[in-house]
């Protein structure tokens, strides 16, 4: 009987390695067209996210301290609170804001001005403040995130809303005249399709106590996280002169590393 010929181990390894090299050699290289198609898909995905999902905002005032500081730059999830478009309504998970969530919206008084406040009341809620304490549907809210001035420096109107009349409190005429139609038994009842928002810095916030209810169509989205924070003096964003803006831009470039608040980078907004 003929014996089968065995391949020496060294030759066997050589053969296997050769087969591996052949397999690698047989893999087709990516063509220029395939590379451009891959790049285009990445760009389209990024453009979709920027257009429909995320938007960058910067915080210009201290009304939300210490949750959000002047100079915080945040990414806002635009798709959650915005009214659903017919083409994207089924694709993106739209929903209305929940109580105690932070929201970005267009000012009811100044179209084009973006504001950020915390949602304190949703449709159907009964709200009142007593000495700065918020009561929602009869229950006292525990709000450890809020800031308050000393009692003798607080606005009696803002801290006892809506029982104190708005006259002489800097309340715009429109809200001063219509506010009473939403008040029942000393409480403001949030109507359908509207929300009530207040700043966490309660005594330094121009919010729904002053400008009125927030229509649902004014909602932009929910701040997700701070992607960059830079030490910015109060009132900096009120400067509109070109020379002042250029000066602050140069200041930012020169002091990027020592004035960036690194501890706030990627901090989630709650």
Statement: residue 20 has pLDDT above 90: no
pLDDT at 231: 94
| H-helix or E-strand spanning residue 14 | helix 9-26
pLDDT at 25: 53
8 A C-beta contact, residue 148 and residue 203: yes
Which of the given ranges, 53-62, 86-95, 126-135, 226-235, has the highest pLDDT on average?
126-135
pLDDT in tens, 113-140: 999 999 999 999 999 999 999 999 999 9
8 A C-beta contact, residue 177 and residue 154: no
Query: Which position has the higher pLDDT, 21 or 75?
Result: 75
3-state secondary structure 174-200: HHHHHHHHHEECCEEECCCCEEEEECC
């Amino acid at each position: 009987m003929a014996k089968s010929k065995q391949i020496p181990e060294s030759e066997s390894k050589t053969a296997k390695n050769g087969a591996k090299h052949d397999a690698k050699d047989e893999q087709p290289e990516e063509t220029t067209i395939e590379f451009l198609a891959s790049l285009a898909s990445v760009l389209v995905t990024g453009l979709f996210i920027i257009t429909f999902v995320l938007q960058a905002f910067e915080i210009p005032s201290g009304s939300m301290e210490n949750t959000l500081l002047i100079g915080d730059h945040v990414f806002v999830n635009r798709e959650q609170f915005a009214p659903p478009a017919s083409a994207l309504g089924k694709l993106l998970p739209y929903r209305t804001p929940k109580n105690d969530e932070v929201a970005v919206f267009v000012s009811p008084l100044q179209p084009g001005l973006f504001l950020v406040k915390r949602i304190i009341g949703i449709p159907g809620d009964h709200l009142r403040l007593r000495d700065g304490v918020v009561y929602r549907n009869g229950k006292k809210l525990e709000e450890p995130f809020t800031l308050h001035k000393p009692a003798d420096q607080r606005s009696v109107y803002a801290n006892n809303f809506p029982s104190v009349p708005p006259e002489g409190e800097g309340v715009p005429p429109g809200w001063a005249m219509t506010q009473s139609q939403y008040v029942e038994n000393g409480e403001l009842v949030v109507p359908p399709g509207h929300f009530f928002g207040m700043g966490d810095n309660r005594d330094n916030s121009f919010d729904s106590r002053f400008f009125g209810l927030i229509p649902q169509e004014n909602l932009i989205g929910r701040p997700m996280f701070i992607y960059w924070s830079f030490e910015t003096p109060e009132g900096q964003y009120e400067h509109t002169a070109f020379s002042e803006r250029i000066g602050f831009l140069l200041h930012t470039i020169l002091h990027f590393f020592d004035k960036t608040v690194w501890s706030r980078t990627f901090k989630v907004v709650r």
